[in-house]
Structure 1
Amino acid sequence: MNYPVKTYVESDNKALFDVIERFPLATMFCTGSDTTPSHICHLPVSLCRDTLTIFGHATRENPIKHFISSSVEAVFRGPDTYLSPKQVEGIKLPTWDYVTVHCTGMLESIDDYEQQLLTMQHILNAFENDNDPWQLSSVPEKQLKAMCNALIFFKVKLDTLTGNFKLSQNKGAETRAEIANLLCNTNPQMSRYYD
């Protein structure tokens, strides 16, 4: 059995990057072994498109630290929506449309202090408001070092990226246009994927 269904597979990196950047809270799956239980956690990450790498940090208490140098999977859940036959004429049964991106790669620790600061700056550049961004330079050096000691910094060089974009592709163009029109008002983040 092939899953996801071939018509739902999205392989355009630009579309996949867009989901990762709009919905950066990754669900990280770390597969355990006989001695280490599997671990799932949710961590915000920033993407470097040029190197196909995601960057993040976690508290030192997070069990993800036990999976350094292991393969991990990061799942990014984009928008989703329930669709009812009462809402859309061309749908015979209720359905759920959604956008997700699955990535795999090696979890690597960033231990060098200067690299940790660069990682933090990369994350800030991704999330801070462009008009008046909070500056890492506003934090005294002693406090920065304490912060870095309290966190683990990591990167994952992405080996695979796969999108599962279930967008009623099995429906005709007229029905899909009707769905997009409905979602413009009720779920604009989702409607943009029906183009």
Structure 2
Amino acid sequence: MYTPPAFREDDTAVLHALMRAARLCNFVTATAEGLMATPLPLFLDEGEGEFGTLYGHLARANRQWQAPVLGEAMAIFMGPDAYVTPSWYAAKREHGKVVPTWNYVVVQASGPVEFFDDPARLREVVTRLTDLHERPRVEAWAVSDAPEAFVAAQLRGIVGLRMPVTRLMGKRKMSQNRSAEDRAGVAAGLRQGERASDHVVAELVAEEGAS
């Protein structure tokens, strides 16, 4: 990933927080058959390894886990993003030498991947992943709520995934390369947007101006 110094994020704690907030990632592997990618919810075990370890599962019918991986796998976590029109820049009124761009947050985690189908390990992964996303709910659903025979049958239909993270790259592009006046214009413009992500990016841009 091309990451100019102004946009680079190196703080592991910040990167982990961005990964947790993204909730869904694109899991990518290079194989002799070509690139393969699957959108997956993964959870991060921060206490396992220098940069943590990612866990999740794929459908057993998914060809991706069967194709030998060439090198490392990559999980791409996208954060909030927004289109930025040059009309918001003070520089447009001054000299007009401006172009559109896109603000976004992204984390790329890479590492060797292991696929497994041991029922006990699969149950642990499914349980931890379920608990993570059910926790905020008033009436949280648990794996143990379903009949045991049904759960066992469902586990036979999936394959587990474990990826110790050996490389972690983050990019936080929030108009840091623009003047304070341009950033203020971007934040104000995005606050008028219709997408929820526009409003989130507006505050992130404003934070850059305040730091």
Superposed CA RMSD in Å reads 2.2
In the TM superposition, 1:1-195 aligns within 5 A as 3-33=2-32, 36-51=33-48, 52-67=52-67, 71-90=72-91, 92-130=98-136, 131-186=138-193, 187-194=198-205, 195=207
Q: Decide whether the 8 Å contact of 2:88 with 2:185 is kept in 1.
A: no
Which letter does structure 1 place at the counterpart of 2:30? T
Measure, in 2, the Cα distance between the counterparts of 1:17 and 1:179. 27
Structure 1 residue 12: Cα displacement: 1.2
Decide whether the 8 Å contact of 1:71 with 1:107 is kept in 2: yes
Determine if contact 1:67/1:107 at 8 Å carries over to the other structure. Answer: no
> Are 1:68 and 1:108, in contact at CA under 8 Å, matched by a contact in 2?
no
Q: Quote how far apart the aligned CAs of 1:133 are.
A: 1.2
Identify unmatched segments of 5+ residues in structure 2.
93-97
SS in 2 for 1:188: helix
**Counterparts of 1:147 and 1:120, CA distance in 2:** 10
Offset at 1:6? 1.9
Shift, 1:129, TM fit:
4.4
Structure 2 CA distance for aligned equivalents of residues 154 and 73 of structure 1: 12
* TM-score, normalised by the number of residues in structure 2: 0.81
**Distance across 2 between alignment mates of 1:17 and 1:127:** 16
Give the fraction of aligned pairs with identical amino acids, expressed as a percent: 25
Q: Give the secondary-structure state (helix, strand or coil) at the position aligned to 1:93.
A: coil
Deviation at 1:8, TM superposition (A): 1.2
Higher mean Cα deviation, 3-12 or 83-92?
83-92
Letter in 2 for 1:74: A
Amino acid paired to 1:87: W
Quote the Cα distance in structure 1 between the aligned partners of 2:139 and 2:125. 20
Q: For 1:133 and 1:185, locate their aligned partners in 2 and report how far apart those are by CA, in whole Å.
A: 35
Cα contact 1:76–1:101 (8 A) shared by 2: yes
Aligned length: 192
Q: 1:192 to 1:116 in 2, by over 3 A?
A: farther
The offset of 1:15, in angstroms, is 2.0
What's the TM-score once normalised by structure 1's chain length? Answer: 0.87
Sort the Cα spacing of 1:123 and 1:112 in 2 relative to 1 into closer, same or farther, 3 A: same
1:90 to 1:79, Cα distance in 2 relative to 1, 3 A: farther
Give a deviation string over 1:135-191, Cα, whole Å, max 9, x none. 111111111110110011111111111012111111123432443344345323323
Distance (Å, rounded) in 1 between the aligned partners of 2:204 and 2:66: 37
Letter paired with 2:77: F
